[in-house]
Structure 1
Amino acid sequence: MSIYQNVLVCVTKQKTCERLIKAASKLKAENGNLRVLHVAKNSWNILDNSRESEALDYLFKVSKEHNADMTMLRADNISKTIADFAKNNGIDLVVLGQSNNEQENKFYKRLCTLLKDEISVEVIS
């Protein structure tokens, strides 16, 4: 298992993403940085959905427990936004959750293409 200096965890609006934050915290160097990112599409209204906003609040607290900053962004092109964020913040590992959803697998491939082997991507099951 490799150890990384700057790790970015991508989370959705589900409390189960806590496992991604915990796993990513083990992949960063002792003095490394952990960042958590949630990108919502511009058309999504997360604040009107109490369960989703509660989940994001929970993930914010979990992030703090692992000394990670959590950022929320809005964009229509989520994979490009994540890639740009990673490149602009010196990230050397992006952590994603595993999915059996074909659309999400296409997302993974798009993200890897955008990162052009400059930044590692690890999928956590």
Structure 2
Amino acid sequence: MNTIQNIMVCVTQQKTCERLIRRGAEIRDEYDGELYVIHVAKEGYHFLGNSRDGDALEYLFEKAKAYGANLTVVRSHDVLQTLKDLAEKNKIDLIILGESYENNEQKNVVSRLKKHLSKGIEIEIVPVQRENKAV
């Protein structure tokens, strides 16, 4: 990884976002950069996929604030283009994403975003946390 100045953490579901924000904060602290937490909601959908937008937005705000991040929440018809535009606007060097459950590359957001981004922007995938069970 080259010198990282600006990190963008893309969040979707409130239950999984803290681990992504925490990872972004770890990298930010290592490189003394800026941390941006971004959620782009598709036009016509609830912000975080449920009808409890107020609670979800408050949760996101609190988590972003706790890690010293800037929070941006927007609606868009074209989520990938909006993420690309925000990455360029904020001069992002690294994007943190959660692992996609979608195996189909055409539907996999991570694969699609990689193809959409400007050169020089790295992506780090944070794997889904699996429960450790004693054998």
1:96-107, aligned counterparts within 5 Å?
96-102=97-103, 106-107=108-109
Deviations 1:7-40 (A, max 9, x none): 0000013222110000111112453100000000
- Equivalence for 1:20: 20
- Equivalence for 2:90: 89
Aligned-CA RMSD value? 2.2
Q: State the one-letter code of the partner of 2:22.
A: K
> 2:61–2:71: 8 Å Cα contact kept in structure 1?
yes
- Structure 2 gaps of 5+ residues are 128-135
Number of matched pairs = 124
Distance verdict in 2 for CA 1:9–1:103, change over 3 Å? farther
Distance verdict in 2 for CA 1:57–1:15, change over 3 Å? farther
1:23-38, aligned counterparts within 5 Å?
23-28=23-28, 29-38=30-39
Distance verdict in 2 for CA 1:24–1:38, change over 3 Å? same
CA distance in 2, matches of 1:2, 1:23: 17
Structure richer in strand, relative to its length: 1
Structure richer in helix, relative to its length: 1
Deviations 1:98-119 (A, max 9, x none): 0222368622122111114320
How many percent identity over aligned positions? 39
- Equivalence for 2:131: none
Rg larger for? 2
Q: Which has the higher contact order (CA 8 A, sep 6+)?
A: 1
Secondary structure at the aligned position of 2:125 is classed as: strand
Deviations 1:42-94 (A, max 9, x none): 111349712x4323311210110111010001112111110110011101001
Under a length normalisation based on structure 2, what TM-score does the superposition of the two structures give? 0.80
Under a length normalisation based on structure 1, what TM-score does the superposition of the two structures give? 0.86
CA distance in 1, matches of 2:47, 2:117: 28
CA distance in 2, matches of 1:119, 1:12: 20
